[in-house]
Amino acid sequence: MEILPKTLGTRPRLAVEVRAEGVVAARAEDAAALLTTLSRVDLPDGAVAPGLKVGNIVDTFCVSAAVRKALDVVSGRGSERAERGAGRLRDVTLVVPDSAVRVLFLDFDQLPSKTVEALPVVRFRLKKLLPFDADDAMVSYQVMSNEKGTIKLLAVAIPKAVLEEYEAVVLAAGYLPGAVLPSTLAALAGLDETPSPSLVVNAGLGAVTTAIVQAGTLLLHRSVDMSANANVSAPVSIVSTAIPLVDRESSAQEWAQQEALGPEGWDRIDADDVMPVSVAREIGMETAAREVVQAVSVAAAYFEDSLQTVPDQLLVAGTLGAETLSAVMAESGLEGLRVREMVDAGMVQAGAVTASVPRGWLAGVRGALRN
């Protein structure tokens, strides 16, 4: 199975996201992605350890049970459940952590037009760029432009064994992973195309991703694995080619450029001075909050430098939550940003959302269902 299947027309009407904090599932009846049923199941610490090496699913029984419980709530009743009883697995879109995937922007002078011929070329280029064996990875790509003798494309890669871990818990739960999307790309697919650029942060335990989107074009995507050594340097670049976040007709629906933060990004703010310890203790995510402040600070500066305007709001996905993040940002001196959830109340059917499923958790599954 490909990460972004070329033959995929419409993704399944069920979606499930597996995060280190827990599992969230949702259902939508059509492509508008109004969430009609939601479910969340928390996971114990350490049950999922997102990364590029085998061992993401530490407690297989626990995670598969959580996936089953979450999906059973949203998968319908009657004849739909009877399908499962008859041995027919229901398709779901699986959203995996950003830390388990790498997405790269590549340039080529030439590239075969046929996928079967181009894929080995892309895979060969990735050999030099990926921190894992490209020959043992699931790779997908999309040509973004072909101008002035340069072919630009974005490639998505995930170690095959890691992908199989996530797929296995869905299969063990009695469902079929029909599509797989990284968390932030899935969340971005839920945004409306507007002329104004949007600054997005997807934050939770172990990882934070910032992104900038304008008029359906992904301009920046940067991820930090907070469990890894942050002293990894990589240049910040802006994608000048229009990158559709959702394209039902082509080989990929969501694309991004994912790079680690470099040391130059950390001089924007001294997190040790501005970290609100009381808030961090309250949410039990002191390290995560500090990293999120740093990541948002860098992204906001990049937003201003690249687009010659300052961001006026920050859209929040992930489990940290807009309220908590707003407090952290205010304490850090970034109070000029209006912080709000990416999933607003109008995207959820009345009565479907509950306090047990905060809206921040829903951004990934809601975007995955919108197609």
For residue 328, the model assigns a pLDDT of 82
pLDDT at 285 over 70: no
pLDDT tens per residue, range 144-165: 678 888 897 778 889 999 999 9
Is 336:320 a contact under the CB 8 Å cutoff?
A: no
| Percent of the chain with pLDDT strictly greater than 90 | 35
For residue 279, the model assigns a pLDDT of 44
pLDDT at 68 over 70: yes
3-state secondary structure 101-122: CEEEEEEECCCCCCHHHHHHHH
pLDDT at 339 over 80: yes
101 sits in the region (left: phi over 0; alpha: psi -120 to 50; else beta) called beta
Is 203:210 a contact under the CB 8 Å cutoff?
A: no
Tokens standing for residue 9: 């027309």
CA distances from 123 to 46, 161, 234 (A): 32, 17, 21
pLDDT tens per residue, range 225-237: 876 443 333 333 3
- Other C-beta atoms within 10 Å of 76: how many? 17
Residue indicated by tokens 């959580």? 66
CA distances from 164 to 67, 94, 174, 201, 220 (A): 15, 12, 15, 27, 28
pLDDT at 266 over 70: no
Average pLDDT over residues 177-206: 88
Please give the single-letter amino acid code of residue 156: V
Q: 205 by DSSP, 3-state: which?
A: coil
For residue 209, the model assigns a pLDDT of 92
Q: What is the mean pLDDT of the chain?
A: 78
Q: What are phi and psi of 235, to 5 degrees?
A: -70, 150
Average pLDDT over residues 37-48: 93
**Separation CA 363–CA 344 (nearest Å):** 10
Q: 156 by DSSP, 3-state: which?
A: strand
Is 198:190 a contact under the CB 8 Å cutoff?
A: no
Confidence of residue 22 (pLDDT cuts 50, 70, 90): very high
Q: Tell me which of 243 and 295 has the higher pLDDT.
A: 295
Confidence of residue 81 (pLDDT cuts 50, 70, 90): low
Average pLDDT over residues 16-38: 90
Confidence of residue 354 (pLDDT cuts 50, 70, 90): low
Please give the single-letter amino acid code of residue 314: L
For residue 262, the model assigns a pLDDT of 38
- Which of 147-156, 185-194, 255-264 shows the lowest per-residue confidence on average (mean pLDDT)? 255-264
pLDDT at 7 over 80: no
For residue 275, the model assigns a pLDDT of 41
Q: 187 by DSSP, 3-state: which?
A: helix
Q: What are phi and psi of 91, to 5 degrees?
A: -70, 140
Q: What are phi and psi of 43, to 5 degrees?
A: -115, 145
3-state DSSP helix/strand/coil % of the chain, to nearest 5: 35, 25, 40
- Give, as one character, the DSSP assignment of residue 89: P
For residue 50, the model assigns a pLDDT of 94
Tokens standing for residue 110: 């030439």
Is 200:364 a contact under the CB 8 Å cutoff?
A: no
| Beta-strand pair 175-182/198-204 | unpaired
Q: Tell me which of 34 and 154 has the higher pLDDT.
A: 34
Confidence of residue 251 (pLDDT cuts 50, 70, 90): very low
- Which of 117-126, 207-216, 248-257, 326-335 shows the lowest per-residue confidence on average (mean pLDDT)? 248-257
What is the C-alpha end-to-end distance of the chain, expressed in Å? 19
- Which of 125-134, 188-197, 277-286, 354-363 shows the lowest per-residue confidence on average (mean pLDDT)? 277-286
For residue 132, the model assigns a pLDDT of 93
β-bridge mates for residue 155, sequence order: 104, 141
pLDDT at 49 over 80: yes
Is 350:3 a contact under the CB 8 Å cutoff?
A: no
pLDDT tens per residue, range 103-115: 888 889 999 988 8
Confidence of residue 99 (pLDDT cuts 50, 70, 90): very high
Confidence of residue 6 (pLDDT cuts 50, 70, 90): very low
**Separation CA 156–CA 254 (nearest Å):** 10
